[in-house]
Amino acid sequence: MLDIGQIAAATTDLRAGAAEILDRFRSIVPYAAASISAWNPITDRHETIANASYPPEVVRHLDTWFVHHDEVYELMRNVDPEPLRWRDMPFDYRRLYSAREVFMPAGFDEGVTTCLYTPDGRYTGSMHVSTDSRRHPSDSAAHALVIMQQMLAGVTDILRPPTWLASSLGTEEGGAIVTPEARVVTLAGPAPGPHLISDGALPRAVAQTLCSGQVVTRFLWQDDAGHWHEVRLAPIPEGAVVTVAASRLPHELTPRELDVLTLVTAGCSNPQIAATLFLSTKTVAKHVEHLLAKLCCTTRAEAASRAINEGLLRRPVPSARA
């Protein structure tokens, strides 16, 4: 089992690592079929990342109906995480839907599902094992599965790469995934701080940025208390990994100059900016003059380029403010 632990700790390719683990696991349990399924906390869906001999209809069942309705899976997921073989259960599992309609017709006569948990208690997925003999899994194999619950959790932890991304963004606070719907999924490690909560003001600002079609990896955000924060984004398919750090407005920019710079970067003319912010064009021109000087830029295009590179953009995109 030591080699399985080494594979789990070293793998960077979740699918390849899971497939190799299933291959090595056969020496512990002579299974007829086995699979490893990863849980996506963003979509609340399971996906099989490695499969050894389960037919397609069984794989579909394990990733869908089983994880939402199977009585024993719900028991292990919500009450007692210890893996239970069919024969360990306080009732006849063979009478239940999964065994009666799916597993036994596929030729399996015994089995066990192991829910996988990280050391901090996060559920990351499941390992399913089915045999064609009631002698397996043995008692020693069942004990090995208990040990493997944490050992294999990293293999199915789809948040592990985003966690690495968050640490690479270089803030003391932890990070979180923010979806285009402003939903927040926290990552392992330090807490992400009080502003990254689902449908909060900051996640809504991130969602606006994600849905804008613009490539923005940094921006400035002001909380309700008037404090400024630098927000960093690393795009992923589900949205973005986001970190937040307390900040000040750089280059001695004023909040209104940041508003104007943000709209300049969006390609707005002075009259358009004036209409958006309910200012006169003369006032906007003065703001542009001041921000160009503070950024040591000679043109609006140069200022826009610097704003994008340094994250000198306000989110949400500015509108009329008192």
pLDDT in tens, 272-309: 999 999 999 999 999 999 999 999 999 999 999 999 99
C-alpha span between 33 and 15 (Å, rounded): 17
Strands 123-131 and 176-178, sheet pairing: unpaired
Highest-pLDDT range among 51-55, 198-202, 243-247:
51-55
Which domains are seen in the chain, by residue range? 2-151 (3.30.450.40), 159-248 (3.30.450), 250-322 (1.10.10.10)
C-alpha span between 120 and 125 (Å, rounded): 14
E-assigned strand segments in the chain: 33-40, 45-52, 84-85, 110-117, 123-131, 176-178, 184-186, 218-222, 228-236, 239-247
User: Binning pLDDT at 50, 70 and 90, where does residue 322 land?
Assistant: very low
- Average pLDDT over all residues of the chain: 91
User: Residues with Cβ < 8 Å from 314, sequence gap 6 or more?
Assistant: 219, 220, 221, 222, 255, 258, 259, 262
Residues comprising the chain, all counted: 322
Burial of 215 per CB tally in 10 Å (0-12, 13-18, 19+): exposed
| 41 preceded by a cis bond (ω within 30 of 0) | no
Please give the average per-residue pLDDT across 312-317, as a whole number.
Answer: 94
In tens, the pLDDT along 221-242 reads 999 999 999 999 988 888 898 9
Strands 239-247 and 176-178, sheet pairing: antiparallel
Is the pTM higher than 0.85? The answer reads no
- pLDDT value of residue 278: 94
Question: Residue 37 above 70 pLDDT?
Answer: yes
Burial of 32 per CB tally in 10 Å (0-12, 13-18, 19+): buried
State the amino acid at position 128 in one-letter form: H
Q: In sequence order, what DSSP letters do the residues of 37-52 get, joined into one string? A: EEEETTTTEEEEEEEE
C-alpha span between 244 and 219 (Å, rounded): 10
In tens, the pLDDT along 184-224 reads 988 877 778 889 998 899 999 999 999 987 878 899 999 99
Residue with tokens 């542009």: 288
Q: What percent of the chain has pLDDT over 90?
A: 69
